[in-house]
Amino acid sequence: MARSYSQGRIVQKLLSMSNANTPELPTSPEPMEPTVAIPETAAASTEKPAVSREPTESFGSLLSDFEQSHKRKAEDGSRQIAATVVAVNAESAFLDIGYKTEGILPLTVFGGEADAPSVGDKFSVSVKGRDIDGYYELSLFKVARPKDFTSLEEAFEQKETISGTVTGVVKGGLTVDIGMRAFMPASRSGVRDAAEMEKLVGQDIRCRITKLDVAEEDAVVDRRGVLEEEEKVNKDRRYAEIKEGDVLHGTVRTLMDYGAFVEIGGADGLLHISDMAWTRIAKPSDVLTVGQEIEVKVLKIDPETRKISLGMKQLLAHPWDAVAEKYHVGDKVRGVVTRTADFGAFVELEPGVEGLIHVSEMSWAKKVRKGDDMVKTGETVDVVILGIDLAQQRMSLGLKQTLGDPWAEAAQKFPVGSQVEGTVTSFMKFGAFVQLAEGVEGMVHISEIVADRRLNHPSDALRVGEHVKAKVLELDQEKRQLRLSIKQLIPTGLDEFVEEHQEGDTVSGRIVDVTDGLARVELGEGVFAMSTLPVASAVVEAAPVAGALDLSSLSSMLNAKWKGGASSVAAKPEPVRAGQIRSFRIAKLDRDAKTLELVLLP
């Protein structure tokens, strides 16, 4: 590759010429180099730049060339030079700038090979420096460069920010004119890819010198650090300006699983997924995209961490504002199950309005242990509104109410005193539960299971799944409670007595006690009745009975009297006292209530 004289070669030539008159051994003359370089890549062009040679050179001319070269090197960046295109190849254009060596311009500054200049075209250029092949690197941009590098050295020492112009894209980065040719690594350009680097060409930028060698005219600059510092300053300023409650215009910068980061005029804020909409959102990408411009409200600013919380849904009408007008207790509505839990299921009636179906409100008959035993997420269901709490924004819903209330007709189906049948479903320590119909259960107290013995637990006499008959003792439709008795359907001595007698019959019995003109009479085992006494009857204390009372003999005697229908009591009236066996007439007999009223016979 042909080049112009270098400083070392010029000094060598000066020394050889100054010793021309000194006798020395003959040496081979050094060949002269052409004063105009011919680029290797220009060899393919049909027109080549002319090469001129100087046959003879004097010491004065070489010294003049040396001084002129250095003078131009110091001044060429501060002025524009009229240049003429002398050759063009596939990558570059070579221009005559009045120096011994041509200047070079990449075709990219003209827009590419299609817009390449032609030989003879003239341009106004400035010199940026020398490349590794010795050509002068040119620029079409008019840049005011300092006449010396003092200001650059001061900027480098003080780490000050300076202005520069991006002149081209090179391998690994960009070239920047800062008054001298500087290199900016791609990683410190502040852009992400090659396409954005291309857009910087021709732009004025702010950068900082990170390396400076004036002697070698070598400099490295950093734009990314300046941008980061300016961004921090802007964020600090913006942070001081933002207040809670402000409504701002922002741009979605990043999407995460839990939300989105939004740029709001130099500061970043977090828009949590729960604050994007009143309805439930699965992931932020369902409603937002990177680069989307949105309106947000500042919800909270943490002064310690400087984190800003943003919201979108807060700029929309709250769906619960219209709940009082649209929904009422008792309304039958339709919704979609959004999620289930152990205690129930949540149903969305409209975006932002949800209600809870508790497990106790899912079925009349089935014992539901968790929500998904009855419903599944995504299922559409009909429900009845059981309660609305506007202050807490909560709504209680019922699923079983849509199936019809079996207790609505319980009073007609199971009246008090009627005999019913059902299946034992469960036990408690105090009794057993019997299912009479779908959604209707009755409770049999432990004392109403059997009559002949005392039970420690209902399972001593019953088992789950057993079919039983019972009598309805009490019904509370409001509380949804039925009290049943099994033992009252088991025949007893009283049942037999009532079936065998009627009003007017004469019977015998033992007077148990006498109080205020009334006597309590035992007519048989487990059969008692009350009898009125005549006013004239004398009441005496019961005589002491020696030895134990023979109850078996008494029962046999009374049974004989009941069966015979005649009284064997002595005709002579006696004073009424406890322990006497007397004759009585049945004055009143209630078969349903199983009660008797007696009258003492003389």
| Dihedral over alpha carbons 581, 583, 586, 592 (to 10 degrees) | 20
Judged against a pLDDT cut of 60, whether residue 119 lies above it is answered with: yes
Assign 115 a pLDDT band (cuts: 50, 70, 90): confident
Q: Domain check: are 412 and 521 in the same one?
A: no
Assign 466 a pLDDT band (cuts: 50, 70, 90): very high
Q: Domain check: are 478 and 558 in the same one?
A: no
Contacts of 537 (CB under 8 A, 6+ apart): 573, 575, 576, 600
Judged against a pLDDT cut of 80, whether residue 584 lies above it is answered with: yes
List, as one string, the DSSP characters of 42-70.
GGGSSS-------S---HHHHHHHHHHHH
pLDDT of residue 367: 78
pLDDT of residue 557: 56
pLDDT: is 459 or 231 the higher one?
Answer: 459
Domain limit, last residue, from 290, 315, 340? 315
- Rounded to 5 degrees, φ, ψ at 56 are -135, 145
- Measured CA to CA in angstroms, residue 88 lies from 42, 92, 101, 131, 488 at distances of 7, 6, 15, 17, 122
Burial group, residue 348, by CB count within 10 angstroms (0-12, 13-18, 19+)? middle
Q: Domain check: are 308 and 369 in the same one?
A: no
Q: Domain check: are 523 and 479 in the same one?
A: no
Mean pLDDT of the chain: 78
Residue 86: DSSP 8-state:
E
- Nearest residue to 101 (alpha-carbon basis) of 78, 63, 131, 125: 131
Judged against a pLDDT cut of 80, whether residue 37 lies above it is answered with: no
The reply to whether 567 falls in a domain is yes
Q: Domain check: are 48 and 87 in the same one?
A: yes
The reply to whether 237 falls in a domain is no
Contacts of 472 (CB under 8 A, 6+ apart): 414, 415, 416, 417, 418, 419, 420, 442, 482, 483, 484
53-79 average pLDDT score: 48
What CA–CA distance (Å, rounded) separates 485 from 206? Answer: 97
Assign 393 a pLDDT band (cuts: 50, 70, 90): confident
The reply to whether 234 falls in a domain is no
Which domain does 299 fall in, by range? 242-315
Bridge partners (DSSP) listed for residue 251: 263, 293
What CA–CA distance (Å, rounded) separates 514 from 576? Answer: 8
Helix intervals (H) in 218-315: 224-241
The reply to whether 309 falls in a domain is yes
pLDDT: is 130 or 19 the higher one?
Answer: 130
- Nearest residue to 139 (alpha-carbon basis) of 108, 115, 112, 114: 108
Contacts of 326 (CB under 8 A, 6+ apart): none
Assign 391 a pLDDT band (cuts: 50, 70, 90): confident
The reply to whether 121 falls in a domain is yes
Q: Domain check: are 154 and 128 in the same one?
A: no
48-67 average pLDDT score: 45
Domain limit, last residue, from 315, 333, 351? 315
Angle, vertex CA 226, rays to CA 223 and CA 229, nearest 5: 150
**E strands, 408-543, in order:** 419-428, 431-437, 440-445, 467-476, 481-485, 506-515, 518-524, 527-532
364 touches 400 (CB < 8 A): yes
The percentage of residues in the chain with a pLDDT greater than 90, rounded to a whole number, is 26
Q: SS3 for 332? A: strand
pLDDT of residue 292: 92
Judged against a pLDDT cut of 90, whether residue 444 lies above it is answered with: yes
- What's the token pair of residue 478? 């409001």
- Rounded to 5 degrees, φ, ψ at 417 are 95, -15
Angle, vertex CA 236, rays to CA 231 and CA 237, nearest 5: 95
pLDDT of residue 53: 40
Tracing tokens 């003359």 back to the chain, one arrives at: 29
Model-level pTM? Answer: 0.40
* SS3 readout for 437-455: ECCEEEEEEHHHCCCCCCC
pLDDT in tens, 83-95: 999 999 888 899 9
Q: Domain check: are 423 and 483 in the same one?
A: yes
Domain limit, last residue, from 373, 394, 415? 394
Bridge partners (DSSP) listed for residue 474: 483
- What's the token pair of residue 192? 């992400």
Strands 247-256 and 293-301: antiparallel
pLDDT of residue 282: 84
Assign 562 a pLDDT band (cuts: 50, 70, 90): low
- Nearest residue to 160 (alpha-carbon basis) of 171, 149, 152, 168: 152
pLDDT of residue 573: 60
The reply to whether 144 falls in a domain is no
Assign 579 a pLDDT band (cuts: 50, 70, 90): confident
Contacts of 348 (CB under 8 A, 6+ apart): 279, 280, 335, 336, 338, 354
Q: Domain check: are 154 and 254 in the same one?
A: no
pLDDT of residue 273: 92
pLDDT of residue 558: 56
Q: Domain check: are 389 and 367 in the same one?
A: yes
pLDDT of residue 322: 86
CATH number at residue 554: 2.40.50.140
pLDDT of residue 188: 92
139-153 average pLDDT score: 68
- Nearest residue to 37 (alpha-carbon basis) of 95, 92, 82, 81: 95
pLDDT in tens, 498-541: 878 888 888 888 888 888 878 888 887 778 888 887 765 544 44
204-217 average pLDDT score: 87
Q: Domain check: are 514 and 585 in the same one?
A: yes
What CA–CA distance (Å, rounded) separates 598 from 504? Answer: 9
What CA–CA distance (Å, rounded) separates 285 from 228? Answer: 29
471 touches 417 (CB < 8 A): yes
- Nearest residue to 525 (alpha-carbon basis) of 555, 560, 561: 555
Angle, vertex CA 169, rays to CA 166 and CA 170, nearest 5: 125
pLDDT in tens, 158-197: 999 999 999 888 888 999 999 888 999 999 998 888 888 8
Strands 332-341 and 308-311: unpaired
pLDDT of residue 505: 87
What CA–CA distance (Å, rounded) separates 394 from 371? Answer: 18
Q: Domain check: are 508 and 479 in the same one?
A: no
342-362 average pLDDT score: 90
Angle, vertex CA 223, rays to CA 220 and CA 228, nearest 5: 140
- What's the token pair of residue 294? 């949105």
The reply to whether 525 falls in a domain is yes
pLDDT: is 116 or 211 the higher one?
Answer: 211
462-485 average pLDDT score: 90
What CA–CA distance (Å, rounded) separates 377 from 371? Answer: 10
Buried-state track 216-251, b at ≥16 Cβ within 10 A, e below 16: ebebbbbbbbbbeeeeeeeeeebeeebeeeeebebe
In the chain, how many domains are there? Answer: 6
The reply to whether 401 falls in a domain is no
Q: Domain check: are 41 and 108 in the same one?
A: yes
Contacts of 71 (CB under 8 A, 6+ apart): none
- Nearest residue to 444 (alpha-carbon basis) of 495, 410, 411, 462: 462
Burial group, residue 354, by CB count within 10 angstroms (0-12, 13-18, 19+)? buried
Assign 568 a pLDDT band (cuts: 50, 70, 90): very low
Contacts of 189 (CB under 8 A, 6+ apart): 173, 174, 197, 200, 223, 224
pLDDT in tens, 240-292: 888 888 898 999 999 999 999 998 877 889 999 989 988 888 889 988 999 99
